[in-house]
Amino acid sequence: MTSLKRMAAHLFERYPHNPILQARDWPYPVISVFNAAATTVDGETLLLVRVEDRTGMSHLCAARSKDGIQDWRIDPHPTMSAEPDEHPEELWGIEDPRIVWLEELQKWSVTYVAYSEGGPLVSLALTEDFKTFKRLGPVMTPDDKDASLLHRKIDGRWAMIHRPISPGGQAHMWISYSPDLKHWGDHKLLLTARRGGWWDANKIGLCPPPIETKEGWLILYHGVRNTASGCLYRLGLALLDRDDPCKILRRSDDWVFGPYELYERAGDVHDVVFPCGWVLDERTGRIRLYYGAADTTLALATADINEILDYLMQCPRGSGAEIQTDKEGRRQTIIRETVIIKHADLKE
Nearest to residue 192, comparing CAs of 78, 12, 321?
Answer: 321
Q: At 266, which CATH number?
A: 2.115.10.20
pLDDT in tens, the chain (348 residues): 478 888 899 999 999 999 999 999 999 999 999 999 999 999 999 999 999 999 999 999 999 999 999 999 999 999 999 999 999 999 999 999 999 999 999 999 999 999 999 999 999 999 999 999 999 999 999 999 999 999 999 999 999 999 999 887 789 999 999 999 999 999 999 999 999 999 999 999 999 999 999 999 999 999 999 888 889 999 999 999 999 999 999 999 999 999 999 999 999 999 999 999 999 999 999 999 999 999 999 999 999 999 999 999 999 998 754 434 343 433 343 433 333 333 333 333
Predicted structure pTM score: 0.91
Q: Is position 326 within any domain?
A: no
Query: Would residue 199 count as lying in a domain?
Result: yes
d(C-alpha 126, C-alpha 190), whole Å: 25
Asked whether residue 328 is domain-assigned, the answer is no
Residue 343: inside a domain, yes or no? Answer: no
Full domain range(s) for residue 314: 3-320
The β-bridge partners of 248 are 240
**CA-CA distance, 209 to 111, in Å (whole number)?**
10
Q: Is residue 193 part of a domain?
A: yes
Is 139 a member of any domain?
A: yes
Residue-wise burial string across 85-111, b where 16 or more C-beta atoms lie within 10 A, e elsewhere: eebebbebbbbbbbbbebeeeebbbbb
Q: List Cβ<8 Å contacts ≥24 apart for 81-90.
A: 82/57, 82/114, 83/135, 87/114, 87/123, 87/135, 87/137, 88/116, 88/117, 89/114, 89/116, 89/121, 89/123, 89/137, 89/138, 90/114, 90/115, 90/116, 90/123
- Distance CA(38)–CA(107), nearest Å, equals 15
Residue 341 in any domain: the answer is no
The neighbour count for residue 232, using CB atoms within 10 Å, is 19
Asked, for residue 335, whether it belongs to a domain, the answer is: no
- Domain count within the chain: 1
Q: Is the CB of residue 315 less than 8 Å from the CB of residue 253?
A: yes
